[in-house]
Structure 1
């Protein structure tokens, strides 16, 4: 009995005569070479679409990961918002208050101009101007019989005075700058005039010199609370010469001998260049046998508060951050192990290791981005609540919780960077999955 090779044998259906698929793929690499596998292009749009669809399909696990991230991101934003709001405000007030930079010289001396010039050139000094004796730094400011300031403090000023930053300086001896309290008592505005009086007693006769002066600026009460007038150094020297019995024509009095050329001063108005220079400047003056008064105690107090709160915030932040990283690593690794078959199918379809890694990182970035957006919304709600409830108990415009846009961008960049690093750990595990794993259950 001959067998026709073109005719199916008896007892076998023709439809069952197809080759065994496993035998047909005895040498899979001969059919799927490296060049053919790499022929699948690495298209970002395709990977993004697959990542989004996979997250939507597996939404329960995705929501669990998002909520675990929100539980860390929102408290951290509020924590750093409080740090910036409270500690940052304390430090800002410390740095912006010129009174904290002042180094007051106690007592009267006899300092020559070369020494004062050397003082002004020291690296610790931000501003220095000679000052006359304390008894000669007072004058009467009069607008009319009802509006006047008796024995107002008169201080010299010049270019670079940190106390008058942003306020027009007096251009000459006929102009002055008033403090807010003095201007309020006089009910005067910038550009208006007043009478400036200086009294003395010469040869048993009481004399009172006066001159008309124009207000060139008004200093805020936050900068200087006492009633005072800021004048040029020649005007202050003229006041002392007048009280010492010399002839000063600008005060309208003809008595007295000619004033000598001034080459020595009793002290100086001195301001440090910055907060850190206050202590070295005071130490140098003390070494010159000059007693000083500074706000070093307040400066150190704010620094101590800033340091302690900074350490507390840093410890809490690092503990939360490490917990978040551990949680992310566990979640991503568990998710990859759960989807080993899906990853193997992607590899079988021609996705190379680079594509699979990018796929995992895209999912991590999507989850982290959504979590950061939710955390940001919770932060905005929490910070508004803090500022509304607690801000009412703080003076001025002090805020409790605040982050600048730059801080938020830095937080977003840091969060995404951590997500990429953690996803990289998962990707390193995912690329070890072999395409053959997808065929085991067939």
Structure 2
């Protein structure tokens, strides 16, 4: 155990500073060879950064749109049936289901919306909703029959905004007489067009069932008409609005419904298409990256070994001056790290120029907010760490050879 730890630390710091100074001055003195090594690294680093920037930008955006678009999670039931509440509860309890709610017959999911004599929507689509509806994520869900949520296209036609009151009309023919029920409702929110593009209104399930009962000739006082027969408690529904828990649950959920003799329609083809594109491009980028990386490693190994052979006498002089084997190895590794750092900075600057060019020339042909070439800071840091790791491994091979140089070799030419 040393009696002077502070003195030992100061000595190690001085030796390290001396090694770094020698490495820097040697690179400056032998700058032509150093620049050749830097350029060979830049020729690999810049294209690789651009490749992974394109992968992260285009493929990442495609996958994000796939995952974030709730329409890709929908499993739509075809036709009408007679589904009991217990069956619907069983459906909702399945692990593949993210959201489900009962739905009436398709002909009974339409109503007229009127804001003024010049602003109205005829036969707007009326959909039931509740908490957890992926189409209404981030907006308040109607809690009663006095509130509704409009799609962006319906709000545009109605010239309505949040808080406005609109008229909700439901028509029927009873005993040869045309009747028109009416409700006055308040717009509680508006759904972005990217989530639902058709003119529609989202209401409570109770209001939708009242609409169907009204059209079936049942007395529904809420619509302001007293005619009609007395209704009975509803026990069955025609279908359901169903959304899978995630992209991977769409196919299993559709398979289960098919086993229940329920025909469905999904966007599984689009999902598989994006997955195929992601896989194919991932393989292409991986192959190009590995080929480039292996070529770079081979080039660096040759360059470092040749450089060490060229400087055997200088290495021997260092050994003669008292530098041990680990000091000479550290000297080689320090030079490799310095060269790699300079090359990575140059390659990153070229990547920034290339990505800006891609985004400017190609981005205008893609939908808004789509990155053509983009890397997150964490990706850049990982790339830098990988480059430094490769540099250390390659330099380690040269260091093993440099350690074998004997001090006596410096005396042969004297």
Which TM-score band applies after superposition, normalised by the shorter structure? over 0.9
Distance 2:134 2:16 in 1: 57
- Select the residue among 252, 257, 278 that pairs with 1:280: 252
Greater displacement, 180-189 / 112-121: 112-121
Q: 1:219 aligns with which of 165, 176, 191?
A: 191
Other-structure match for 1:50: 22
Asked if the contact 1:137/1:236 (under 8 Å) is kept, the reply is yes
Equivalent pairs counted in the alignment come to 404
The CA distance in 2 between the partners of 1:381 and 1:41, in whole Å, is 42
Residues 50-95 of structure 1 show CA distances to partners (whole Å, capped at 9, x for unaligned) of: 2111111111111000000000001111111111222222212111
CA distance in 2, matches of 1:104, 1:41: 71
Alpha-carbon distance in structure 2 between the residues aligned to 1:161 and 1:40? 67
Unmatched tracts of structure 1, length 5 or more: 1-38
Extract unaligned runs of 5+ from structure 2.
1-9
1:315 is matched with 287
Residue aligning to 2:6: none
Render the CA deviation track for 1:300-329: whole Å, top value 9, x for unaligned: 122222222211111111110100111111
Is the counterpart of residue 353 in structure 1 residue 325 in structure 2?
yes
Q: 1:326 matched to which residue of 2? A: 298
Query: Could you tell me the TM-score, scaled by structure 1's length?
Result: 0.89
CA drift at 1:40 = 7.0
Residue in structure 2 matching 1:299, options 266, 271, 292: 271
1:40 touches 1:350 (CA, 8 Å); kept in 2? Answer: no
Confirm or deny that 1:430 pairs with 2:402. Answer: yes
> What's the CA shift for 1:299?
1.3
User: Shift of residue 41 of structure 1?
Assistant: 4.0
Whole-angstrom CA distance in 2 between matches of 1:105 and 1:232: 20
Shift of 1:258: 3.2
Cα distance in 2 for residues equivalent to 1:114 and 1:345 = 88
Corresponding residue for 1:152? 124
Aligned-residue offset at 1:293: 0.6
Partners of 1:231 and 1:358 lie apart in 2 by 71
CA contact 1:125–1:281 (8 Å) conserved in 2: yes
Partner in structure 2 of residue 391 of structure 1: 363
TM-score, normalised to structure 2's length?
0.95
Q: Secondary structure at the match of 1:109?
A: coil
Q: Is 1:172 the equivalent of 2:176?
A: no
Who is 2:135 aligned against?
163
| SS in structure 2 at match of 1:53 | helix
Shift in Å at residue 257 of structure 1? 2.9
Q: How big is the shift at 1:259?
A: 2.9
Q: 1:141 aligns with which of 89, 105, 113?
A: 113
1:103 to 65, 71, 75: 75
Counterpart of 2:3 in structure 1 is none
Which secondary structure state, in structure 2, belongs to the residue aligned with residue 188 of structure 1? coil
Q: CA deviation at 1:378?
A: 0.5
CA distance in 1, matches of 2:85, 2:319: 85
Q: Which residue of structure 2 lines up, in the alignment, with residue 21 of structure 1?
A: none
For residue 142 of structure 1, report the CA deviation from its aligned partner.
0.3
Instruction: Say whether residues 1:258 and 2:230 are aligned partners.
Output: yes
Q: CA RMSD in A?
A: 1.4
1:40 and 1:351 in contact (8 A); partners too: no
Deviations 1:138-189 (Å, cap 9, x if unpaired)? 1111011111001000001111111111222213221111111100001111
